[in-house]
Structure 1
Amino acid sequence: MECVGVRFAHSPKIYDYRFGSQAPPVGSWVVVKTPRGLELAKVRTEPRLGQAVGEIVRVATPADLDQHSKLKNRAEEVYWWLKARLRREGVRAKLLGCEFTLDGNHISVQYSAEQRIDLRRWVSELNRLAGARVEFVALGPRDQTAYLGTLGACGMESCCSNWLQDFTQVSIKMARDQQLPLSPEKISGPCGRLLCCLQYEHQQYQELLAELPRKNSKACSLQGVCGKVAKLNPLAGTVDLVTEEGSTVTVHKSELRWE
């Protein structure tokens, strides 16, 4: 089925939606039908074959954009009202944002909390205040970062809030293989979890490490210098040998022999 990819606010994930006789241009705003109701999204891809998750109702009109702006202001009022209530009652939760659907019939409240909490006690009041059905959505550390948007250690917008489509499992072994310092401050992102970018070059590092001896093993150079492998330099293709005399010698893999 021919679709276009669209992106919603506060998420980089792209979803395929089918369209009518003519595909809306990339960069245009469209109104799409979702399980929550009508929502505004931006077209991010040219027409392509895909598995549609819904349909585009229409290209957004000036009236749609004006309605979205008004609902955004209303959502801001709900946000500050609920934030004040949480603070007043000592509820340990971080309120991230509130969003109305374009028809104004549904409002989702995104929050995060270290412990499981129940916010349903405020549903009735929120129903009256917002005039809409209320949905509470708890976000984990990584999803929270994607929702709010942050800068990464590289100085650019974090991958999870900019373009990353899915979270892939990241392990401490990836940091070890890349010879990175295992300090949490060095290998953790704004979310407090291991950097997603550790996975990007890991396969290349594994291939380079396969051509080198293991750390702490014994190796010798062609010149007869032997010692214990103290450090691996996979990008340079060298290892640092510590000899019995205590000196350190850097040897290229082409001049190295080991069992």
Structure 2
Amino acid sequence: MGCSSCSTGKDGQPRGCKNNGTCGTDGCNKLTVFDWLSNMSLPNGQKPFDCVEVRFKNSRKGFFRNTENLPLAIGDVVATQAKSGHDIGIVTLTGELVKVQMKKKKVAFDDESVLKIYRKASQRDIDIWQKCRDKEPEIQKRSREIAISLKLQMKLSDVEFQGDGSKATFYYTAEDRVDFRQLIKDMAKAFSIRIEMRQIGYRQEAQRLGGIGSCGRELCCSTWLTDFRSVSTASARYQQLALNPQKLAGQCGKLKCCLNYELDMYLEALKDFPSQDSKLMTEKGIAFCQKADIFKETLWFSYRDDPATWHALHKEHVTEILEMNKKNEKIASLEEYAQDNVNEEKLVFENVVGQDSLTRFDKPRKNKRNNKKRRKNKPKASRNAQ
């Protein structure tokens, strides 16, 4: 947990706001934006921007117009306009940076479709909102049972109540089109609320649910990543990664988003790098590229007749040989240009504590064979001896 109000308490449960990473203080770093203009005042005569950013459950955010000129700050719980009724959310950003975020999300400043903020949430609003949030796990479980009984090929991943408790949105994933008309009727009858079904992708599902990635950190999509760029296997090939689906796939089952982070650097380095499909013509025979290291700027070649012996060549030498081959000129052998095969010194890890053994605290094992021999060799005492 990022902030002190929702740090871990008993049984691994959040101690403070009990929102499990979406606390009111907005210190858990879940899709948050750092307000670097917070300590700066506006020029004289300029009015503050009248829109604020509000976050709801998990990663859902929206922009709302502050028509009542309420004094809002980050972390305030507000009642916002909805299609029907009102919703409850937490203010995550105010001021001029909201204009930047709206421009990034391609939302017009003067768009009439931008909803407005009614008021700061009262204690009654918060109680109703919290009561609805507490019912979500049980309703999600019951809705999954109804979907299984109807034999629908879909997965209900999350349930979100509207702040006033009048509507519930069910997020689901499915491979094909699903006819859930009967499902909506059964759920509306069982829960006595209005039902809205919303299909999301597998990456959006991982973004909403969150989790820990293979790197040991929280998922990028649920903490700071706001858009999903397409990731292809070519990204792994450019970075010379093994095409292992188990290692390249993330928690959503798709290719990891982090494969794109360093891709631009690799593409920039490969611009002046010889192709791995290049062949070197020598008097000893044709040489094929077996391996390339972008960081060391080295390529390994081997002859067709001797593929087990590799020769390391610098990329400049490879480019020079290719230029000679274009002029129908051959070099004598790769050994002339090959780098000296210097054996790398192996790191010997020493114990900085003082060469202590790892088993110094273990109890010494007794040798049972020696004990048996001692018992055999030991003279038996006479029973009558006193």
| Shared fold (TM-score, shorter chain, > 0.5) | yes
2:198 maps to 137
Partner of 2:131: 70
Counterpart pick for 1:56 among 104, 117, 135: 117
**Who is 2:298 aligned against?**
238
CA contact (8 A) 1:38 1:101 kept: yes
Do residues 160 (structure 1) and 208 (structure 2) align?
no
What's 1:95 paired with?
156
Distance 1:128 1:16 in 2: 33
Alignment of 1:187-226 (within 5 A): 187-218=248-279
Q: How far apart are residue 243 of structure 1 and its match?
A: 4.0
Equivalent AA in structure 2 for residue 229 of structure 1: C
For residues 60-87 of structure 1, the C-alpha deviation after alignment (integer angstroms, 9 at most, x for no partner) is: 3333222111112333332222222223
C-alpha separation between the residues in 2 aligned to 1:88 and 1:36? Answer: 31
| 3-state SS of 1:44 partner | strand
Q: Residue 288 of structure 2 aligns with which residue?
A: 228
> 5 Å matches for 1:115-130?
115-130=176-191
Q: TM-score, normalised by structure 2?
A: 0.59
Tell me: CA distance 1:14–1:134, structure 2 relative to 1, closer, same or farther (3 Å). closer
| 2:311 corresponds to | 249
What is the aligned partner in structure 2 of residue 9 from structure 1? 57
Deviation at 1:22, TM superposition (A): 4.6
Give the TM-score normalised by the residue count of structure 1: 0.85
Confirm or deny that 1:40 pairs with 2:40.
no
Q: How big is the shift at 1:23?
A: 5.1
Distance in 1 between the 2:287 and 2:92 partners?
Answer: 56
**Residue aligning to 1:148:** 209
Task: Give the 3 Å change call, closer, same or farther, for CA 88–248 of structure 1 in structure 2.
Answer: same
Taking only the aligned residue pairs, the percentage that are identical comes to 31
Distance 2:211 2:190 in 1: 31
Question: Hey, which of these two has a bigger chunk of strand by percent?
Answer: 1
Counterpart-to-counterpart distance in 1, 2:270 and 2:262: 12
Q: How far 1:256 moved relative to its partner?
A: 4.1
Alpha-carbon spacing, 1:238–1:84, altered in 2? closer, same or farther (3 Å): same
Please give the alpha-carbon distance, in whole angstroms, between the structure 2 residues aligned to 1:10 and 1:127.
24
Work out which of the two has the higher radius of gyration on C-alpha atoms and give 1 or 2.
2
Distance 1:16 1:146 in 2: 20
The answer to which structure, 1 or 2, has the higher relative contact order (CA under 8 A, 6+ apart) is: 1
Structure 1 66/235 Cα, relative in aligned 2: closer, same or farther at 3 Å? farther
Distance 1:248 1:74, change over 3 A: same
Give the letter for the 1:57 counterpart. Y
Report the Cα offset of residue 140 of structure 1.
1.9
Amino acid at match of 2:205: Q
Q: Output the aligned Cα RMSD.
A: 2.5
Q: Do the aligned residues in 2 keep the contact of 1:17 with 1:55 (CA within 8 Å)? A: yes
- Runs of 4+ in structure 1 deviating by more than 4 angstroms, as ranges, are none
Quote the offset at 1:2 in angstroms: 4.5
